[in-house]
Amino acid sequence: MRIRYKSPKGNGIMTFHETATVENLTLQLYCETGTEKFEIRYGWPPKPLDLKAKDVSLVSLKMNGETLTVVIDEPEPTAAASISKPAKEEARIKLNRKKTVDAGDVVIPWPEREGALILRVMPDDNSCLFTAFGGVFQKENASASLRREVASSILANPEIYNEVVLEMSPERYCSLITQPDRWGGAIELGILCDIYDIEICSVDVKSGRVDRFGQGKEKRCILCYSGIHYDRIAFSFCPPPHTSTDMPVTTDVTNWLADDDEVLIKAVELAQKLKGMHYFTDTTDFVLKCNVPGCNWIGSGDRQAKDHMKSMGHTSLSEMQIS
């Protein structure tokens, strides 16, 4: 069964099984639009769909081939409310890192393979995980589509991704993860490795630990995790002494056979070099300052940051360099 939809956030086509219900339709639109509050209109003349009738089948409503109009109910906040209202507990703190590197600064020569292992630095835009992983498959502007794929997988596997695992309802989690300012983490890596049938190795800069998602798959890719940020590790061909490269990103080697442990050894070596440059954030004791004009708050650690966010509604923070 195919159903089209039109919404302020885009248009698309959804596919459902013949046993699908209004609840299945509603959950899928959560993922597609990234919002919980909306009205669905169908038929001609357009009439509202009763979203409380969750168990009504879409077949009985003759939805196959229908085009739905999605009306999003999200009133714009007033200026006063946006200043004084505390942020929701589920909001994520927007952090600006104190330390960044240029791609050319982090090169691990690999003469045996006539090139070098390098760090491809991702933007600090809260979508670094999705951008880093999307680049493995040369996906441009991959964040939005990968977020939707993650949300769809969560809703399709309620026995795995339940409220206990997600620490909130699956519907709420999917609504949040499809937003561009929501960070991804271990849950998303675990889902993406299955969707794309590739092992994802996440190398932690501070500890040198390699977390592996999707073990047993034929191919692997490698990401670099620095506490609050993900970058992509890639191989680039370059001439001796293999200490620099000017090859474009499109020529990168970004996946390897899963039994190629030599690349993991090189990746850990790269992480050690980054650690020496203090290219990581320790979220247990890092020092932060608030970027909101007029607020002079300074605190330490993730807990104090969240407390400030809840009490004041300020989510733009920067890590401070303490020397």
Q: Which of 31, 229, 238, 302 is catalytic?
A: 229
β-strand partners of 219: 257
What's the rounded Cα separation, in Å, for the pair 107 and 117? 6
Examine the residue annotation and report whether 314 is marked as an active-site residue of this protein.
yes
What's the helix, strand, coil split of the chain in %, to 5?
Answer: 30, 25, 45
Q: Which of 128, 174, 224, 238 is catalytic?
A: 128
Q: Which of 31, 174, 221, 314 is catalytic?
A: 314
200 dihedral zone (left: phi>0; alpha: psi -120 to 50; beta)? beta
Which tokens sit at 256? 């390897």
Contact (CB, 8 A) for 138 and 251: no
Q: Which of 125, 181, 261, 282 is catalytic?
A: 125
Report residue 320 CA to chain centroid gap: 25
Q: What single string gives the DSSP state of each residue in 181-250?
A: TPPP-HHHHHHHHHHTT-EEEEEETTT--EEEESTT-SEEEEEEE-SS-EEEEEEEE--TT-S-----GG
Examine the residue annotation and report whether 125 is marked as an active-site residue of this protein.
yes
Contact (CB, 8 A) for 21 and 54: yes
**Which amino acids are annotated catalytic?**
125, 128, 229, 314
